[in-house]
Amino acid sequence: MAAAAAWAQTPSERESVCAQVPAITRQLTEISGLRLKHPVPCHFISKDEVNRFLKKRIKEAASPEEIRAEELTLKKFGLVPADYDLAKNTIDLLTEQAAAFYDFDRKKLFITETTPFETQEPVLAHELSHALADQNFDLARYTRQGRKSDDGSTARLAVMEGQATWLMSEYLARRNGTSLKDNREMANAMSGMTDSSGGQYPVFENAPLYLRETLVFPYTKGMLFQQAVFERDGQSSFAEVFRKAPVSTQQILHPERYFSGAQPTDPHLPDPHLGHGYKALIGGSLGELEHGIMLRQYAGQKTADKLAPHWRGCNFELRENKKAGRAVLLYVVEWDSADAAQGYFDAYRELLQKKWKKMEISSRGPDSVTGSGDDGRFELRRNGALVTSVEGLEP
């Protein structure tokens, strides 16, 4: 019914929504101390137009080969099903979720025509927060600078969405005569409001856990990160998180690691001495966020909560032999102690068994397991605080 009411809005009613932009922006500049350098254009857009925009943006951001490599990586780690179409489902998911967006290439704000009237003001506050950040710190450049690390890129996204969610929440709180300042309980409550879709979003609810968690993370945990930096630095925190970007999702989840400047380690990948014909397809890192999701999916929330915070660094690489139709996953993760690594070694051994339809053990020891799974031979090992896995080797 709310969606139908939104569709029924007249052009003059839409103009009245966009007419709120200057007043909301003034409030946001007062809260954040960020300066508005020029007005932000406001437009309405249909869901079909959102869908076309997302398709165009994905084509601009990644080649079909890069998307295939990312999809294959997620499948190798068991984070999405083997028959999952990542590009199509991501577009469907984001189209369903879109209430509004700020396009930092065109410097314009767009509201979807199906956004209910009662949510349009907070949506405007969120997107105008992005516009303010963009005018002061150039969001396109900020995101590009984080592409050297997958985990670091996710952390930067959490800065952007977390700050916008915090400013939106503070804007609403002040309207009701209160504030998030020195009120972590309120911040926790307001960040949790996006945790559940309440049956409104079937594409989201049927998506793999990995996609659901990584979609929500920048808003929920990013907002709590902004709250922590605000409690320490006050108004200067809104600039601080852009000038000194967090380098890992661990710093977002544990702001004290951001304050102390704790850096992820860079462990060496295992070398299985692959034969001729293998070329690097994609490489990167999984952070505490992704390891927490994997553990939650295959070992349960209790194990994830116990082990994931002990993450210290990770690297992975896919090497592909197209002629042989084979891709080999090289993976290493470092933990803060041998005990934590042993716990993850045991959990990952069970994870392998659960993510594959079949698994045969060739040898098993306290620090090593070898055998074969759905896509070939594997070698899982622990050496001190390091756990390594090679998966997809030829028989």
The CATH number for 328's domain is: 3.40.1000
Percent of the chain with pLDDT over 90: 77
Domain assignment of residue 9, yes or no: yes
Mean pLDDT, the chain, whole residue set: 92
Domain assignment of residue 40, yes or no: yes
> Which amino acid is it at 318?
L
- What would the pLDDT profile of 6-46 be if each residue is shown by its tens digit? 444 566 666 788 999 999 999 999 999 999 999 999 999 99
Domain assignment of residue 272, yes or no: no
Mean pLDDT of 152-173: 97
Q: Locate tokens 């051994």: which residue?
A: 349
Instruction: Please determine, for residue 132, whether its predicted confidence score (pLDDT) is greater than 70.
Output: yes
Q: Are both 238 and 286 inside the same structural domain?
A: no
- What would the pLDDT profile of 58-87 be if each residue is shown by its tens digit? 888 888 899 999 999 999 999 999 999 999
Domain assignment of residue 270, yes or no: no
Cβ neighbours for 95, distance < 8 A, ≥ 6 positions apart: 47, 50, 51, 54
Name the residue range of residue 368's domain.
279-393
Q: How many domains does the chain have?
A: 2
Instruction: Please determine, for residue 197, whether its predicted confidence score (pLDDT) is greater than 60.
Output: no
Q: Are both 252 and 292 inside the same structural domain?
A: no
Strand order in the sheet with 279-284: 279-284, 311-321, 326-335, 386-393, 376-383, 368-373, 360-364
If one compares 185 and 154, the residue with the highest pLDDT of the two is 154
Instruction: Please determine, for residue 226, whether its predicted confidence score (pLDDT) is greater than 60.
Output: yes
Q: How far apart are CA 327 and CA 375, in angstroms?
A: 8
- What would the pLDDT profile of 234-287 be if each residue is shown by its tens digit? 999 999 999 999 999 999 999 999 999 999 999 999 999 998 999 999 999 999
Instruction: Please determine, for residue 182, whether its predicted confidence score (pLDDT) is greater than 90.
Output: no
Q: Are both 139 and 37 inside the same structural domain?
A: yes
- Among 202, 233, 260, the domain boundary falls at 260
Ramachandran area for residue 217 (φ above 0: left; ψ -120 to 50: alpha; else beta): alpha
pTM, whole model, 2 decimals?
A: 0.92
Q: Are both 242 and 299 inside the same structural domain?
A: no
pLDDT of residue 199: 65
Q: Are both 226 and 353 inside the same structural domain?
A: no
pLDDT of residue 11: 62
Q: Are both 339 and 245 inside the same structural domain?
A: no
Q: Are both 292 and 253 inside the same structural domain?
A: no
Start-to-end C-alpha separation, the chain: 58
pLDDT of residue 2: 34
